[in-house]
Structure 1
């Protein structure tokens, strides 16, 4: 091949490459323009649905569903997308309970068939969007497609994100079969994901968590305790459960139960006796548990714990010393006891902590 022929081949290659790049660029720009045009049309349709005289507003006010609300025409796909977003917007801005129930009822009738279809699509994003919308619209009628999709998932870790969303959706819909997947969830899900599965449970589902607590997997039991604390659930059954967990052989379960009890603010006499005995064990208890002992003692404020808290101001752990001092400062006469520690305690760390708390309290009083 001569030099001129070689250069010709190179120039033809460069021309083809430039042409391909231009075609790809044209496709991307054209696709973006079409997407922007579509979004403008959707926003315009949403604005129509949001107007005070729209059929959607009529339905939310009266509960009477007119044909204008679901009439075809004007681009059925665009209209459905706009109606879907308009309903989600209404839910997010604080719709009344009556309006919420009407939205759920309408969505169940209007979107269920489409969402059931999307759950079987190969595209991952289609399935994920369908799951999120099923959860937001509380479409309990799609229970069977959800369970069917769960059973079809493979065992590989690549499906765990979808598996999590499916189980969370079942939980949010208050579907009892959620409990059938808790063993699997304990093995595959993170603690944050477990909390997202457990926290939506209400009514009978929440009661079942407490009733069947001992039969749940260990990781789930720990997260149940966090769920009860975060939900600020204060019932006799919860109090009894937390006090039982104070005696658990699992250290993490005890710590989370103590943390939840501190949020509870009080305990039975028997539980207080156990706390008293555990605090008397001193450094033989691991420091995170000692920390929770100090916090719980500060929450219940029984005088018998004051001496323990004063002793814990000399604890080897800074976090425990600080928590003990904070708790003791909330007791009647606690500030005076902390002053005595600052002036006379033989342990330097205890004296330093006492001074720190006294200075902080003085600053807080001056600021107020």
Structure 2
């Protein structure tokens, strides 16, 4: 009985050792193949770089532009990506895209349909880097695909926004499930003024994450033409959209009339009181200083901190904080005044 167990354990150990050896052998061979492929790509890059550069800058064609095989096409992709990051002229950029369209269109189309997620994502990033607008139909197809990873969906929409695709408003209204407001904001900020205006016109139809992204984007753009829209959101909505509107107004640094926003300092929601302090600081109107000093005594640390920061944005902000430090009976307010007066002087 014992001999049988020992034999079985020995056999099991031999099998496991054999499997581990096979795995090790597989990894060694795979690494060797990858290194060999990388060397070939690097050799092609050295050959293709001056030829592609000459074509893009001088329009010189060459018989060496016969890019057969995966190695040469991968090398050309890397050369074009590096060039795209450094080219600024419209003529050179146009020639780069012309070269890519002529030589690599089919290559990228196959990559977009690859079974490997990494290959598809790499193709999307390269299409964005090259501003390969000729592949917009394929990118649109990917964006609408039901079975697609989250990262692919986001990247496809980013590309379409960068290409100023006219159908992007409908895509985001009806095909942006599970995208966060941050991801949507990043996409929307790539749009020109005309496309962005569609989101303002259809704001009431958007779901909450898209609403938040549109209001945020209006504030980040810092253009006074969006003031009416942002104030209308504040007046018409409660909760998060209203908070985002106040934050956007703080970015603009302007309101038509401060009166509708004064009651925020008495809100039961600490986030609204904090946004009130932020808005008052961005406006820098002297009559708002007493309200900020009141908010410096708020029960919420976040509100006190924002009030202190906003007070420091005024020309005499430091002097006002010194008065609080010298006269206030509220130790929390004094601590916050001291913190903002000395911010940056330590550590």
TM-score, scaled to structure 2: 0.85
- 1:11, distance to aligned residue in structure 2 (A): 7.3
Matched, 1:236 2:224: yes
Whether the 8 Å CA contact 2:233–2:242 is kept in 1: the answer is yes
Which residue matches 1:33?
32
Whether the 8 Å CA contact 1:118–1:127 is kept in 2: the answer is yes
Which residue matches 1:43?
42
- 1:48, distance to aligned residue in structure 2 (A): 3.1
Do the aligned partners of residues 97 and 221 (structure 1) sit closer, same or farther apart at CA in structure 2, a change above 3 Å counting? farther
Which residue matches 1:100?
93
- 1:83, distance to aligned residue in structure 2 (A): 0.8
- 1:57, distance to aligned residue in structure 2 (A): 1.6
Matched, 1:278 2:277: no
Which residue matches 1:313?
296
Which residue matches 1:89?
82
Unmatched 5+ stretches in structure 2: none
Do the aligned partners of residues 214 and 101 (structure 1) sit closer, same or farther apart at CA in structure 2, a change above 3 Å counting? farther
Which residue matches 2:255?
267
- 1:289, distance to aligned residue in structure 2 (A): 1.6
Whether the 8 Å CA contact 1:56–1:69 is kept in 2: the answer is no
Do the aligned partners of residues 244 and 27 (structure 1) sit closer, same or farther apart at CA in structure 2, a change above 3 Å counting? same
Which residue matches 2:239?
251
TM-score, scaled to structure 1: 0.80
Q: Distance in 2 between matches of 1:105 and 1:263?
A: 41
Do the aligned partners of residues 81 and 235 (structure 1) sit closer, same or farther apart at CA in structure 2, a change above 3 Å counting? same
Q: Distance in 2 between matches of 1:13 and 1:168?
A: 53
Unmatched 5+ stretches in structure 1: none
- 1:292, distance to aligned residue in structure 2 (A): 1.6
Whether the 8 Å CA contact 2:101–2:134 is kept in 1: the answer is yes
* Number of matched pairs: 345
Whether the 8 Å CA contact 2:284–2:314 is kept in 1: the answer is yes
Whether the 8 Å CA contact 1:185–1:194 is kept in 2: the answer is no
- 1:36, distance to aligned residue in structure 2 (A): 0.2
Q: Distance in 1 between matches of 2:243 and 2:276?
A: 9
Which residue matches 2:139?
146
RMSD: 3.2
Do the aligned partners of residues 358 and 71 (structure 1) sit closer, same or farther apart at CA in structure 2, a change above 3 Å counting? closer
Which residue matches 2:65?
70
Do the aligned partners of residues 143 and 329 (structure 1) sit closer, same or farther apart at CA in structure 2, a change above 3 Å counting? closer
